[in-house]
Each structure stands twice: as structure tokens, then as C-alpha cells.
Structure 1
């Protein structure tokens, strides 16, 4: 009995030591991922620190969230796009009294969201606040760029010219080696580097032609933007060239007007001299008659 109890105690001691070591290694991994200033040992052993509170849903989205599973169960073959379209139509046909529960729930959630945001902001360090502000600015800049790109596409802005390699890649992408897009592009880049100069010349000429196409189309497009009052979409280089051309035209008109004025002055001065010549010739004729 003694050896058996001794063996049991040894196994129990080993299990305890293994659990302690496992907990210590877990703690070490957690503290290596995040600084100790932001993650405490207790949070690391249980759950990670929660992020910023999520913005609550509005009344319509609450209605969609509630009704979408019902329609999916009733019509399992229907597509998600058709479900959303159907729910949007139902929401438009609902009366204000039917929408009221969803709107009131959204209002209560917004009030709670404000309190949660205040509590979350209060526990942030200055460095975290600065990082959040930077991320917010980057997100807004990205959204602005996406909106501008979509607007330019709708206004029919010409596509930028392609390089010689892009033209080569578009022509040989289907038969390129590799199973993924990245693998195909790598193999095409290798093939491009192995081409002879006279083989690349064909694609170089096509790229030059595409540049001419882009230049002509951009000129027509920017002239159209000026006509519809969207000078803000014109390139800075084009605007500076337009200003220089307008200034040169204005200077030429001024020089032309100045030269014209000089000619008028010169002819005005020449007229009295002709009159004096005529009078002197008349006087000479009179004297000759008298004699």
C-alpha cells in the first residue's frame, strides 16, 4: 500500500507542477503580445481587453435582423439580395406605429452607446487616444478617396495608359504558369525579363500609342469638365498650362492694341504735314498766276 500511495502522490505532484508551468507559459505568451501597461495578468488569464463599443443598429437594421431568419426559414432557396430587397419593401410599407418599437429600441441603444463610449474613452491612455485619432483620419481619407474614384468613374474619366509590361501580362495571363494570381504574375515577370529587346519593342510601341490615346481623351474630358463647371477635377498641370496660355493670349492682345494705337498716332501726325504740303503747293500756284 505504501508504494502505491507514494506513486499516487508523485503523479498528483507532477500534475500540479504541469498545470503551474502551463499557466506560466500562457501568461508569458500573453505578456509578450501586449505590453504590461495595457494588459493585466488577470485579463490575460481570462479574456483580452474589450475594444471600443460597437455603434448600435438603427430601426430598419433591427427589423432586418429580426425578420431575415424568418424569411430564410420560409424560403430556403431565396438569395440574400432578394431577402434584403423584400424586407426593404416591407419596411417602406409599414406604418409609423409598426416601426415605433424598432425606432425606440434603437434610441435606447444609442443612449447606452454614448455612455459606453464615455467610459471607454476615460480608460484610454494619451498614446491610445492619439493612435485612435490617427486611425480615424486614415479611415476618413480612404473613404474620401473611394468616393472620389467612384465619382470620376461616373463622370467618364479616361483610364490611365498601360505600361509595356502590363500589356504583355494581359495578353499572356491565361496561359501563364502557376495556379494562383501571384504565381502567374511572377512567372510573367520572369518571362518578360527573358524577352529580347526586339520582342519588347512591340509592347513598348503599344504603350506609346496608349499614352497618345490617354492624352487626347484627357484633353477632351477636361474641356468637358470646364464646360460643366467642374474645374476642381482638372489636373494642376493642366490648370497651370491653361493659365499660362490665357496670360500669353492677354499679353498678345495688349501688344496688338498698343501697336494699333501707335499706328493711329503716326497717321494722325502725318495728316497735318500733308495739309501743309497742299497749302504750300497752292500758294506756289497763286504766286505763279500773279506773275
Structure 2
């Protein structure tokens, strides 16, 4: 089965040769004022297959403009598999030649970097890795159907008014923010109570879901607090015992000092 990531790469293959100056944009956690300008980084060449896709995709679309993205990818993969060896060799040779040139340019690029720029690159790479992990985690949570936290009192009011008036929530946000503050406290409390009821159900659903995730081998999706509570009884008993022992020792030390 062809992955979504693979399809995305193929679809954007034409962009891979775009040259631009590498002025790195700070990622999450990196302050703009700390941004450091970096020299132009050599672009890694496309592999033989992606080079073929870049040339072959427009031909397919011209002949069959109705083709969907997945169909284009499948057709490109099939055509690449059946391509004449001499043509494939040409693509391979072009790739190897560009890789040799790239290796030299990348070495020159690395040698020109200052210690400050190298440290900044390390920081950016760490941030990029963390950002990628977070995206993957969010996707996995969505795929595994994690229960969603219910809306707060104001949002419940906003959703209700949106349904009544037949308007989009983002259109009514500012307008109803002022109206919400003017509502009678008893009316507001009805939304607060509804939120509390939904929160009780949400917490129950979340605990049941986390228990299921542990059973199915997905502890990475579970809150650390819940994992702690799900430890075997002997482990929990040992932890409590160690805590009591520590508190007892502290108490004894205080008594000795007081004497």
C-alpha cells in the first residue's frame, strides 16, 4: 500500500529543484530575535525515480487529465518498473553525477559554518524533530479516536446560537462575546452545569479509552498520571511504602534536632 507521505512527495516532486536562499525560519520554541542567518545550503538532488516522476507526471496529466493523485502515483510506479533498462540507467547516472557534486558542495558548506551557526542548526533540527513527533502523535490520537474534551460554557452558548441563527461560529464570536457578559447569571449557570455534566462523561470515556490503549499496546497515547495509576498493585504498594519510609525518616530527623 502506498503511504500518504509518499504520495505527497511524488505530487510535489516538481518543487524539489527549486533553488532558494536558506534563511531558516525559527520553529516552535525558537524566538525570532535569536534567529541567525545561514549561508545558502546546497540542495540534495532527487533520486532517479523522483526525477522520472517529475518528467512523467505532466505527460500522464496531458493524456489523462481526469487522473487522481493516487492513480498518477500508481501509474508512475508501474511505468518506472517497466521502463527500458537503458533509460533507467540514464536517470541513475544523472543522479550519481549530481550526488557527487552535491557531496562536494555540502562539504564546503559545512566548513564555512561558524560554531554559532552550527549550534543554531542543531537547535533547529531538535525543534523540527519535536514538531514532527507532535504532528505524528496528534494524527495517531485522531486515528485511535481519542475522546474529545467538551466545549466550555461560552462555547456551548455559541454553538447553540449558531444552530438557531444558522450562521458560522467564527462570524458570531465577537458579537456574542459581549452578549454573553450581559446574560443573566442563572442562564450562564445552565451552560456551566451542562459543561460539568459533559466533563464527567468525558473523563469516564477518556479513562476507558486509555485502558483500552494500554491493553492494545499504545502506552505512548496515555497520560503519565494514568499510567502511574495503572501500575500493578505491588508496584503501587512499594511506592507508597517508600514514601511512608521517607516521611518517617524526615520526622525522626526533626525529632532528633528538636531534642
- Give the TM-score taking structure 2 as reference length: 0.63
2:117 pairs, out of 116, 123, 128, with 128
The total of aligned residue pairs comes to 203
1:60 and 2:49 aligned: yes
Contact 1:177 1:187 in 2 (8 A): no
Distance 1:137 1:67 in 2: 36
Q: Which has the higher contact order (CA 8 A, sep 6+)?
A: 2
1:113 pairs, out of 102, 107, 130, with 102
Counterpart in the other structure of 1:224: 212
The alignment's C-alpha RMSD in Å is 3.4
2:62 pairs, out of 64, 68, 73, with 73
Shift of the 120–160 alpha-carbon distance from structure 1 to 2, 3 Å rule, reads same
Contact 1:164 1:204 in 2 (8 A): yes
Shift of the 156–77 alpha-carbon distance from structure 1 to 2, 3 Å rule, reads closer
Deviation at 1:66, TM superposition (A): 0.6
Shift of the 230–72 alpha-carbon distance from structure 1 to 2, 3 Å rule, reads closer
Deviation at 1:230, TM superposition (A): 3.3
Deviation at 1:164, TM superposition (A): 2.0
Larger gyration radius, structure 1 or structure 2: 1
Counterpart in the other structure of 1:237: 225
1:209 pairs, out of 175, 184, 197, with 197
Deviation at 1:93, TM superposition (A): 4.2
Distance 1:202 1:92 in 2: 65
Shift of the 109–165 alpha-carbon distance from structure 1 to 2, 3 Å rule, reads farther
- Give the TM-score taking structure 1 as reference length: 0.57
Return the structure number with greater helix share: 1
Distance 2:204 2:99 in 1: 53
1:87 and 2:76 aligned: yes
Distance 1:100 1:65 in 2: 17
Shift of the 123–194 alpha-carbon distance from structure 1 to 2, 3 Å rule, reads farther
Shift of the 209–98 alpha-carbon distance from structure 1 to 2, 3 Å rule, reads farther
Structure 1: runs of 5 or more not aligned: 1-37, 40-48, 252-291
Contact 1:176 1:184 in 2 (8 A): no
Shift of the 200–249 alpha-carbon distance from structure 1 to 2, 3 Å rule, reads same
| Superposed CA offset, 1:91-114 (max 9, x none) | 344466553332332333233222
